[in-house]
């Protein structure tokens, strides 16, 4: 049989367990960057911010735990028809945050799925009004349009859409091949243009270099010619000055030695045989002054003849008279 003391101990343990469970269910610690939505008797009561909170046992319960940090969700590629009737796959990524946990929990059933459907609808409206080339080059316009529409629609759900990014736009395979061929052709065209421009610039630079080189060569030749002419003029001047000094020296020496015309004539006679040297000399001329000098030398070295007896010559009749007589005789 169980005595009363055993029953009391069991009841005490049960009461202790109940108290501990009640305390555990009463005390709630909300971590940072999270919020708890609390319901009392099935109705929204309040939202618990990060920290320590106490709940009323049995009456209060935690409806949902929400993360209020910025969330990132990516959506699979969606098929969209462009204005030029081409099917493209658009891959998007969404950045959002919860601003009102009460409305995020009670205003819509699944806000992530709702946002995805809204993104698909908006993409079809925005990209459907654009051509393929516009869609490929106008991602910023698509992102802006999506952000405006989603932010306006999700504001009543307690969701803030921070931004929407287009991760990729995939055109059909045939269009991709055509685009690659066009890109290759465009790159080849640009390469040819750049090559031609490079060759043109190279030719221009070469011509300019040759022009400058020709100008420098002409200037160098001109300077060299001027220097050579100046050198020749100075050399001729120096030679003339040297010859003049030599002649002056010779003349001064002759005057100092007292050499007269007879000695000079003798020196000329000594130089005459040298004029006939050489097998090519056939005819040579003797200046008149040399002949006169030779005569003087001959007079010097020829002894004077004996004095002839004086002869008295009577003056004859004038030549005119003689001629007249002869004419008369005739």
pTM: 0.49
Q: Where are the domains of the chain?
A: 4-66, 71-171
Q: How confident is the model at residue 316 (pLDDT cuts 50, 70, 90)?
A: very low
pLDDT(315) > 50: no
pLDDT tens-digit readout, 146-178: 888 888 888 888 898 888 888 888 887 777 777
Taking a C-beta distance cutoff of 8 angstroms, is the pair 149, 99 a contact?
no
Contact 110, 64 (CB under 8 A): no
The per-residue pLDDT for 36 is: 92
- The residue with greater pLDDT, 300 or 99, is 99
CATH 3.30.479.30 fits 71-171, yes or no: yes
Kindly tell me if the per-residue pLDDT of 214 is higher than 50.
yes
Instruction: Provide, rounded to the nearest whole percent, the portion of the chain with pLDDT above 70.
Output: 76
Quick: pLDDT tens for 123-148. 888 888 888 888 878 888 888 888 88
- Summarize pLDDT for 75-113 with one digit per residue, the tens: 888 888 888 888 888 888 989 999 999 888 888 888 888
Residue pLDDT, tens place only, 220-233: 888 888 988 888 88
């Amino acid at each position: 049989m169980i005595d009363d003391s055993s029953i009391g101990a069991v009841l005490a343990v049960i009461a202790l367990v109940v108290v501990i469970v009640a305390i555990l269910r009463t005390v709630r610690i909300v971590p940072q960057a999270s919020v708890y939505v609390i319901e009392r008797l099935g109705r929204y009561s309040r939202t618990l911010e990060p920290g320590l909170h106490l709940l009323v046992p049995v009456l209060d319960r935690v409806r949902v735990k929400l993360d209020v940090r910025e969330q990132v969700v990516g959506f699979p590629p969606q098929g969209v028809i462009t204005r030029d009737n081409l099917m493209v796959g658009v891959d998007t990524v969404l950045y959002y945050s919860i601003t009102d946990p009460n409305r995020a929990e009670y205003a819509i059933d699944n806000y992530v799925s709702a946002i995805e459907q809204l993104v698909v609808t908006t993409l079809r409206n925005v990209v459907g009004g654009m051509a393929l080339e516009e869609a490929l080059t106008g991602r910023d316009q698509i992102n802006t349009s999506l952000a405006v529409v989603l932010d306006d629609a999700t504001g009543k759900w307690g969701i803030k859409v921070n931004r929407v990014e287009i991760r990729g736009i995939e055109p059909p395979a045939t269009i991709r091949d055509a685009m690659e061929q066009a890109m290759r052709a465009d790159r080849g065209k640009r390469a040819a243009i750049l090559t031609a421009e490079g060759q043109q610039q190279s030719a221009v630079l070469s011509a300019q270099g040759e022009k400058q080189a020709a100008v420098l060569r002409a200037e160098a030749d001109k300077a060299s010619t001027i220097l050579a002419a100046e050198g020749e003029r100075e050399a001729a001047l120096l030679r003339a000055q040297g010859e003049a000094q030599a002649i002056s020296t010779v003349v001064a020496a002759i005057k100092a030695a007292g050499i007269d015309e007879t000695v000079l004539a003798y020196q000329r006679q000594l130089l005459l045989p040298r004029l006939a040297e050489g097998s090519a000399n056939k005819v040579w001329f003797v200046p008149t002054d040399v002949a006169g000098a030779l005569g003087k030398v001959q007079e010097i070295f020829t002894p004077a003849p004996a004095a002839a007896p004086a002869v008295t010559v009577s003056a004859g009749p004038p030549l005119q008279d003689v001629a007249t007589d002869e004419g008369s005789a005739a």
